[in-house]
Amino acid sequence: MSHEGVLEMMEEMGLPFAYDHFVEGEAPEPPFAVFLYPRADNFSADGIAYFKKNELDIELYTDLKDPELEEAVEAVLLRHGIFYGKSEVWIESEKLYEVLYETEV
């Protein structure tokens, strides 16, 4: 999936989103999302990157646990044929839940 495809998928989620982070002081009220490509996991052949594959992290931030919103995000991922891993953490300093979806595109 291209970067443009990822942007379209993020828009389908219906949440404010940014790449990597929002500018300090400009983050919207939760819920919101950020996404980033933390690393590449390319397949090499004959000394070149024969098949390029980027890891994609989508971080969903909420101030309250919101299973319905998580299901809506997951429905968008499934519509796009995206297999994902999911984890969750409470960020005490921010008073936010982060639900992390890890996948490859």
Spell out the domain ranges in the chain.
1-24+35-43+51-59+72-87
For the entire predicted model, the pTM comes to 0.90
CA 93 – CA 78 distance, rounded (Å): 32
List pLDDT tens digits, range 6-57: 999 999 999 999 999 999 889 899 999 999 999 887 777 777 777 778 899 9
- The rounded percent of the chain whose pLDDT value lies above 90 is 79
Best CA proximity match to 70, nearest among 95, 94, 93, 88:
88
Which strand ranges, in their side-by-side order, compose the sheet holding 55-62?
17-19, 32-36, 55-62, 96-104, 85-91
